[in-house]
């Protein structure tokens, strides 16, 4: 019932199927107050709404109407409806007079699409004993609610207060049970007090332990300021009571924060309401009329933000958007910095290649997945005895190396001379050290950063150089680098006649190793290789062995797309399960025909597979059937039961 369409970082766009139609995620669910609603949220862009089953149950009139004609009729919305269970009321007012069984059965009765069990919303910063005790009850109730569920999709809320390990434990336990969606609960107090940093810990602790195939709902998050960050942490659904609550108070939402009507001289956006009225007009209106218009503006900006986030995921620029949004408030920037402590989690989900370039927007960009991943891969490159560090001029670097390299500083010494033992790297922000052979590979070429370098980036480069120097017998560092990054080197040597040559064979082997792992270059390009360049751009295009095409270097990101011969070589010369996706016997014929592979047919795969990677498709006996591009990462491929996992390029091996 849920499928991923596009991915960026932990964020995803997807499709959620319900009895009353599909919802494109990320989605915002306006909260509908049964019996009080005056705004048609569907006209403003709502695909799904949320209402409260407990409020309906408590009011005799509403209960009778809903029991007879259903909840959709009651709130006059014919699309998907989610209902909440009254847990919020429980947390606000203490005891409520409904039990878990009653609330599930009632939600079945009124025909909700997605129902919720009665959990205990444990607030932030309680004692561990209280958090543990309440979590135990939440888990018991969750288990029990499955017995009462008949037709509806069922939410099960992740609790655990501000104890990350309890949140993870709760997510693990709920993940084992047959639920459909997972709200992350009791986070409103964190957002109300701007404790976004703690929110990051809670959300990552939950999301990283929930099944990939179930949508996650950040409960009570209705301010558009937080949407981009929350999506980047893997949240798919939001609910907004904020649009109406803020309107009640004459407050206007925006991605930059909240505006009070009394302080406004200009309307804050370009929506229909803001174009049509001035703040003066609104102030002169009757309260009810004004509230309705402000609520409409609030929904307009919220839906606009959701659309922008979806577009950013499709083009691979979600983190650029997050970096912009988190500059709206220092507490959000703090949260974004906190997110930088979860690079190992995010790295697993971030696609290997994206459509848009990496933009450096400040020191926080140094803690993005792309940089982390590059440095991890850099560590795996076999070391030579000498290293030459060149300054960056223009990209691609190898094209703009000046004739006269100027002077160098020298650290250590080696008897070895010549190109064989020399590794050439370019020093640049934000990727630090870029081996010359890899200077066209994504994102090492596809990035922009300011030419005026900030102190954090300078320190980052200094640390990196200090570390890498240890791995070589002799390091030559251009005097320009010494100056730009304040390295404070002393041992100056006159330029000797360094010739920097990069042959095609070295380059394609290095790119293959970087893309598929160590040894892949030798596996693919051993023997009498012929490299063909594009007549238009002069860039490497096709690589042949005799007349057989092995691989094509894609112009956009300089990664290889394999041909049949390339796939055969990689398969026969690497060990199972590396670069492989294993499909079951039933789907073998489809794979052979070159049809795309659905996640449910995959029985095993290489744990290192990320989205947008070139992979080999094999059967249980490790016989090569086909090859293609992964759309999901390892965890997602294994967890999903619907939707495509691999876009097959060719079968019939």
Residues 6+ apart with CB under 8 A from 198: 124, 162, 190
Shortest approach of Zn ion to residue 304 CB, angstroms? 9
Site string for Zn ion, 279-298 (x = CB under 5 A): ------------------x-
Could you give the residue ranges of the DSSP H alpha helices within 29-153? 53-58, 60-69, 71-74, 87-93, 100-109, 128-148
Q: Smallest distance from the beta carbon of 331 to Zn ion, in angstroms?
A: 24
Number of residues that bind Zn ion (CB under 5 A): 5
Residues of span 295-314 touching Zn ion by CB under 5 A? 297
- For Zn ion, which residue of 271, 319, 524, 562 counts as binding (CB under 5 A)? 271
Can 84 be counted among the known catalytic residues? Answer: yes
Instruction: Name the minimum Å distance from CB 28 to Zn ion.
Output: 16
Considering only residues 69 to 88 of the shown chain, the ones binding Zn ion according to CB under 5 A are none
Q: Could you give phi then psi for residue 95, rounded to 5 degrees?
A: -65, 140
* Strands of 21-25's sheet in order across: 2-8, 11-18, 21-25
Nearest to Zn ion of 299, 444 (CB atom): 299
- CB of 273 or CB of 477, closer to Zn ion: 273
Name the residue nearer to Zn ion (CB basis): 271 or 468.
271
DSSP H helical ranges for 445-530: 455-469, 479-484, 504-516, 520-525
Collapsing DSSP to helix, strand or coil, 22 comes out as strand
Residue in 61, 73, 84, 586 annotated catalytic: 84
Do residues 410 and 493 lie in contact, with contact meaning Cβ atoms separated by under 8 Å? yes
Q: By CB under 5 A, which span of 156-164, 215-223, 264-272, 605-613 interacts with Zn ion? A: 264-272
Cβ-based nearer residue to Zn ion, 242 or 509: 242
Least distance CB 257 / Zn ion (angstroms): 14
Give the CA radius of gyration of the chain.
Answer: 28
| 543 is a contact residue toward Zn ion (CB under 5 A) | no
Q: Is residue 131 a contact point for Zn ion (CB under 5 A)? A: no
Backbone angles phi, psi at 548, to 5 degrees: -90, 125
Residue recorded with tokens 């220092």: 330
Q: If you search the block for the tokens 């407050």, which residue do you land on? A: 251
The nearer residue to Zn ion, 15 or 264, going by C-beta atoms, is: 264
Helix (H) or strand (E) holding 30: strand 27-32
53 neighbors 107 (Cβ within 8 angstroms): yes
Q: Which lies closer to Zn ion via its Cβ, residue 60 or residue 275?
A: 275
**Which residues neighbour 200 within 8 Å (Cβ) at sequence distance 6 or greater?**
229, 233, 335, 338, 339, 342
CA distances from 516 to 396, 520, 603, 621 (A): 22, 6, 21, 22
Element (DSSP H or E) covering residue 199: helix 196-207
Q: Are 597 and 548 in contact (CB under 8 A)?
A: no
The span of 232-240, 266-274, 312-320, 322-330 binding Zn ion (CB under 5 A) equals 266-274
Angle between helical axes of 224-232 and 318-325 (0-180°, round to 10): 140
Interface residue with Zn ion among 120, 274, 318, 352 (CB under 5 A) is 274
269 contributes a contact to Zn ion by CB under 5 A: yes
Question: How is the beta sheet containing 624-630 ordered, strand by strand?
Answer: 597-598, 644-650, 624-630, 614-618, 580-583, 602-605
> CB of residue 267 vs Zn ion: minimum separation in angstroms?
6
The span from the CA of 282 to the CA of 629, in Å, is 54
Indicate the pairing of strand 237-240 with strand 27-32.
Answer: parallel
Nearer to Zn ion (CB atom), residue 256 or residue 331? 256
Nearer residue to Zn ion within complex by CB, 301 or 508: 301
Active site residues: 84
List residues near Zn ion by CB under 5 A: 269, 271, 273-274, 297
């Amino acid at each position: 019932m849920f499928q991923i369409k596009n991915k960026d970082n932990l964020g995803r766009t997807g499709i959620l199927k319900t009895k009353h139609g599909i919802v494109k995620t990320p989605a915002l669910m306006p909260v509908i107050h049964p019996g009080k609603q005056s705004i048609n949220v569907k006209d403003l862009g709502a695909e799904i709404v949320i209402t409260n089953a407990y409020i309906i149950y408590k009011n005799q009139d509403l209960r009778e109407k809903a029991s007879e004609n259903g909840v959709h009729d009651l709130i006059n919305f014919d699309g998907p409806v989610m209902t909440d269970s009254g847990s919020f009321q429980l947390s606000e007012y203490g005891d409520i007079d409904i039990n878990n069984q009653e609330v599930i059965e009632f939600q079945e009765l009124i025909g909700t699409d997605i129902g919720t069990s009665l959990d205990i919303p444990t607030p932030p910063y309680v004692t561990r004993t209280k958090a543990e005790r309440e979590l135990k009850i939440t888990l018991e109730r969750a288990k029990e609610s499955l017995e009462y569920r008949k037709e509806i999709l069922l939410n099960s809320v992740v609790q655990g207060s501000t104890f990350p390990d309890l949140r993870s434990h709760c997510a693990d336990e709920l993940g084992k049970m047959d639920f459909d969606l997972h709200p992350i609960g009791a986070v409103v107090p964190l957002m109300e007090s701007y404790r976004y940093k703690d929110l990051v810990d809670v959300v990552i602790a939950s999301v990283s332990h929930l099944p990939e195939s179930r949508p996650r709902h950040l409960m009570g998050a209705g301010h558009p300021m937080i949407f981009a960050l929350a999506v980047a942490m893997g949240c798919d659904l939001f609910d907004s009571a904020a649009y109406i609550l803020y309107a009640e108070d004459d407050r206007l939402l925006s991605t930059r924060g909240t505006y009070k009507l009394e302080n406004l001289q200009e309307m804050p956006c370009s929506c229909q309401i803001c174009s049509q009225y001035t703040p003066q007009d609104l102030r002169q209106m009757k309260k009810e009329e004004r509230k309705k218009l402000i609520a409409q503006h609030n929904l307009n900006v919220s839906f606009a933000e959701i659309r922008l986030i979806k577009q950013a995921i499709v083009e691979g620029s979600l983190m650029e958007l997050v970096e912009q949004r988190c500059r709206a408030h220092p507490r959000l920037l703090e949260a974004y910095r906190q997110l930088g402590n979860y690079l190992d989690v995010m790295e697993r989900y971030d696609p290997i290649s994206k459509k848009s370039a990496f933009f450096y927007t400040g020191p926080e960009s140094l803690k993005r997945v792309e940089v982390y991943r590059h440095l991890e891969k850099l560590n795996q490159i076999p070391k030579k005895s000498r290293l030459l560090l060149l300054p960056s001029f223009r990209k691609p670097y190898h094209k703009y190396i000046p004739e006269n390299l100027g002077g160098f500083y020298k650290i250590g010494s080696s008897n070895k001379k010549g190109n064989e033992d020399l590794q050439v790297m370019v020093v640049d922000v934000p990727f630090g050290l870029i081996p010359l052979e890899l200077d066209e590979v994504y994102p090492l070429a596809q990035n922009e950063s300011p030419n005026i370098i900030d102190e954090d980036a300078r320190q980052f480069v200094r640390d990196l150089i200090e570390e890498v120097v240890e791995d070589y017998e002799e390091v030559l560092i251009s005097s320009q680098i010494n100056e730009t990054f304040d390295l404070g080197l002393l041992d100056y040597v006159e330029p000797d006649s360094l010739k920097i040559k990069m042959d095609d064979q070295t380059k394609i082997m290095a790119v293959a190793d970087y893309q598929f792992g160590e040894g892949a270059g030798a596996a693919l390009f051993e023997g009498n290789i012929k490299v063909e360049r594009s007549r238009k751009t002069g860039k490497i295009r096709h690589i042949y062995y005799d007349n057989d095409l092995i691989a094509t270097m894609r112009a956009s990101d300089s990664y290889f797309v394999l041909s049949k011969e390339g796939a055969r070589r990689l398969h026969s010369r690497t060990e199972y399960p590396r670069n492989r996706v294993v499909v079951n016997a039933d789907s073998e014929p489809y794979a052979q025909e070159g049809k795309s592979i659905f996640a449910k047919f995959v029985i095993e795969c290489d744990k290192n597979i990320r989205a947008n990677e070139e992979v080999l498709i094999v059967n249980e006996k490790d016989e090569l059937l086909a090859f293609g591009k992964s759309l999901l990462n390892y965890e997602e491929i294994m967890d999903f039961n619907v939707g495509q996992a691999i876009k097959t390029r060719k079968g019939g091996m």
